[in-house]
């Protein structure tokens, strides 16, 4: 049986070998239970969207990805503020809250806490991607879930690395190791209660980006992002483009590019809100 577990996990992480069988068994059992007994819709899940938290990735002493003098933390802040402004224009009755509105470092756990304490209905974290292959470009929007490709794992590992800047991160994140593939798999199994709605929101974001403003889209994906882990609402992470790609970088660092992306993201939320709040007739 242990050999079976080992083969199963090895396949999931694309050939990476896990030697600690004592950890493999509980991971497998947790995953099996999540599939067999999916959590019911939480009693507190509202059918209206009144509060949205926008999270600008990185900040302060954490610049995020950098290329040709452009820092991810600056791009994400500009996008987040423009996005929030467009949301308030399209949805004036919706309250918009920012995890940061200045160049400030915010621990990952605190970002989720902001959303939970304010009883937010949506949590949207904005980032920029990066790759050693500078020809790769386009947006990706993630929901929590099991990594379906090695690339997804690498994106999650890069974004989760920021917690190394936090004191006592192993205690705060229950022993999470950002360098461990099995830790990322374990955390990706959370948020099942909001998975469907998170994926629907992610799909609308990518649709508006690809069709609405004609930008290259790499689609909806799933991975274990710590920033989404403990949010008690549908949550997504938008990789707004590859800062390592000259065309994406120029676009995201321009006033026109930020404005277009903000419109696309806000329109996606508007469309999601309409569908989310529309009553479904019983069959």
d(CA 122, CA 227): 13
Tokens of 2: 């242990």
Those residues with Cβ within 8 angstroms of residue 40's Cβ, 6 or more apart along the chain or in another chain: 193
pLDDT of residue 278: 85
Query: Counting Cβ atoms within 10 Å, is residue 216 exposed (0-12), middle (13-18) or buried (19+)?
Result: middle
> Burial code of 93-104, b = ≥16 C-beta within 10 A, e = fewer?
ebebbbbbeeee
Other beta carbons within 10 Å of 113: 15
Q: What mean pLDDT is reported for the chain?
A: 78
d(CA 12, CA 200): 24
* List of domains in the chain: 1-38 (no CATH), 49-277 (3.40.630.40)
How far is C-alpha 205 from the chain's CA centre? 12
Once rounded to an integer, what is the mean pLDDT over residues 231-235? Answer: 89
Q: 135-144, pLDDT tens digit by residue?
A: 999 999 999 8
CA R_g for the chain: 19
The enclosing H or E element of 105 equals none
Q: 174-206, pLDDT tens digit by residue?
A: 545 555 555 545 454 544 668 889 999 999 999
Place of tokens 């500078």: 134
Judged against a pLDDT cut of 80, whether residue 279 lies above it is answered with no
In the chain, the N- to C-terminal Cα span, in Å, equals: 43
pLDDT band at 46 (very low <50, low <70, confident <90, very high): low
Which range has the top average pLDDT, 101-115, 135-149, 248-262? 248-262
pTM over 0.75: no
Q: 7-28, pLDDT tens digit by residue?
A: 434 444 444 444 344 444 444 4
Higher-confidence residue: 11 or 103?
103
Whether the CB-CB separation of 5 and 21 falls below 8 Å is answered with yes
In sequence order, what E strands does 95-216 have?
A: 95-98, 122-129, 139-144
pLDDT band at 282 (very low <50, low <70, confident <90, very high): low
Once rounded to an integer, what is the mean pLDDT over residues 77-98? Answer: 98
């Amino acid at each position: 049986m242990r050999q079976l577990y080992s083969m199963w996990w090895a396949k999931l992480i694309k050939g990476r070998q896990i030697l600690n069988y004592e950890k493999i068994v509980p991971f497998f059992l947790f995953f099996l239970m999540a599939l067999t007994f999916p959590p019911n819709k939480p009693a507190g899940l509202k059918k209206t969207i009144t509060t949205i938290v926008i999270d600008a990735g990185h900040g302060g002493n954490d610049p995020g990805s950098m290329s040709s003098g452009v820092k991810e933390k600056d791009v994400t802040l500009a996008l987040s503020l423009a996005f929030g402004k467009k949301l308030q224009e399209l949805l004036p009755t919706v309250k918009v809250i920012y995890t940061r509105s200045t160049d400030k470092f915010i621990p990952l756990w605190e970002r989720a806490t902001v959303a939970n304490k304010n009883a937010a209905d949506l949590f949207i974290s904005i980032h920029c991607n990066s790759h050693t292959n500078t020809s790769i470009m386009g947006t990706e929007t993630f929901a929590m879930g099991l990594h379906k490709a090695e690339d997804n794992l690498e994106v999650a590992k890069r974004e989760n690395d920021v917690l190394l800047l936090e004191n006592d991160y192993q205690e705060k994140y229950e022993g999470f190791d950002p360098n461990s593939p099995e830790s990322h798999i374990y955390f990706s199994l959370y948020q099942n209660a909001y998975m469907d709605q998170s994926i629907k929101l992610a799909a609308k974001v990518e649709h508006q980006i690809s069709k609405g403003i004609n930008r290259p889209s790499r689609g909806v994906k799933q991975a274990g992002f710590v920033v989404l882990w403990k949010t008690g609402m549908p949550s997504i992470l938008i990789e707004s483009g590859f800062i390592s790609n000259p065309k994406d970088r120029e676009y995201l660092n321009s006033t026109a590019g930020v404005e277009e992306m903000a419109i696309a993201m806000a329109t996606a939320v508007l469309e999601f809100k309409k569908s989310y709040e529309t009553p479904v007739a019983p069959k």
